[in-house]
Chain A
């Protein structure tokens, strides 16, 4: 196998498997028809990223984006004093017994909108039921909360420390959000159904 063949094959591998099965061989043949330049590589990388977004389930796309935001916020919290961080701490103590720690952005209006969007998008894409749209929103919340669970785990093994917080409440903080995530996601699913019926929009059902 020559170097261009290797590069072309590698570039095709960047696409989702389902897309590759349909168009992979053709794309590889087109890539090999001309010398591969930086522009072509850049174009293919962005196209592959776009296909991943198109093929990925809504909770995965939104959950991954939310997870990146949560991870960035936590990194700032772990490396800088709370007074110096732009939006303060991601985690907050509550006056309740359970949960004693919450991720406050998960209780914000913006996050509710994200849950509604996740539910609606899931319905529009798959034509599923409202309860399943709720489960999709739970999946999104689970993904978004992974960095916090990971930090809770690290705290349990004394790898990192967050002053005034203990490991278990941090680890379990995202679990308490699942119930409301389901409710908002299901409501989003109903909104999605309303949109489809009102607009007569075609469902983007993908296998």
Chain B
């Protein structure tokens, strides 16, 4: 089974790729704010500003405060992340089991795409 067949076979993964293509984040699918936030929270709960700085460090993407909270709102609504009780004004967020599954699925779909793309870019 070649990579494209694998992607076609994986309907959910295919939908994710199409969804990413439709939204066209400026730096490609890897700069999708929701994916970046899920990736950031995979290493443990963080509050908004900590997510922002973490994303800058590991992806080199500067998320605006508005973009960050728009994405956080969506992720909370989809129950992919969960707000924890806060001590100060900043409330930490935690990745849920569902969020972790979604992240894993998205990353696997991206890996398939990246493998296929890089293989095709090799000189003949």
Distance between Cα atoms of A33 and B49 in the complex (Å) = 8
CB < 8 Å A-B pair total: 55
Contacts of B90 in A (CB 8 A): 26, 29-30
Distance between Cα atoms of A48 and B73 in the complex (Å) = 12
Looking across the interface, which residue of chain A has its beta carbon closest to that of B76? A22
From A23, A28, A30, A46, residue with most partner B Cβ within 10 Å: A30
Contacts of A26 in B (CB 8 A): 47-48, 69, 89-91
Contacts of A39 in B (CB 8 A): 64
Contacts of A54 in B (CB 8 A): 73
Known: A26-B90, A29-B89. A44 touches B64 (CB 8 A): yes
Contact across chains for A31 and B73 when beta carbons are under 8 A apart: no
Known: A44-B65, A46-B66. A30 touches B73 (CB 8 A): no
Would you give the shortest CB distance from A56 to chain B, in whole angstroms?
Answer: 15
Contact across chains for B65 and A30 when beta carbons are under 8 A apart: yes
Q: Judge if B16 is at the interface, Cβ distance under 8 Å.
A: no
Determine which of A33, A45, A51 lies in contact with B73 in the assembled complex, contact meaning CB atoms within 8 Å.
A51
Instruction: Count B-side interface residues using an 8 Å CB cutoff.
Output: 17
Q: Judge if B102 is at the interface, Cβ distance under 8 Å.
A: no
Looking across the interface, which residue of chain A has its beta carbon closest to that of B52? A30
Would you give the shortest CB distance from B79 to chain A, in whole angstroms?
Answer: 11
Contact across chains for B67 and A23 when beta carbons are under 8 A apart: no
Distance between Cα atoms of A14 and B73 in the complex (Å) = 16
Determine which of A25, A28, A33, A48 lies in contact with B66 in the assembled complex, contact meaning CB atoms within 8 Å.
A48
Q: Judge if B109 is at the interface, Cβ distance under 8 Å.
A: no
Contacts of B66 in A (CB 8 A): 27, 40, 43-48
Task: List 25 A-B pairs, Cβ < 8 Å.
Answer: A22-B73, A23-B72, A25-B89, A26-B48, A26-B89, A27-B69, A29-B48, A29-B49, A29-B90, A30-B49, A30-B52, A30-B68, A39-B64, A40-B65, A40-B66, A43-B64, A43-B65, A44-B64, A44-B65, A44-B66, A45-B66, A47-B64, A47-B70, A50-B70, A51-B70
Residues of chain A touching chain B, judged by Cβ–Cβ distance below 8 Å, are 19, 22-23, 25-31, 33, 39-40, 43-48, 50-51, 54
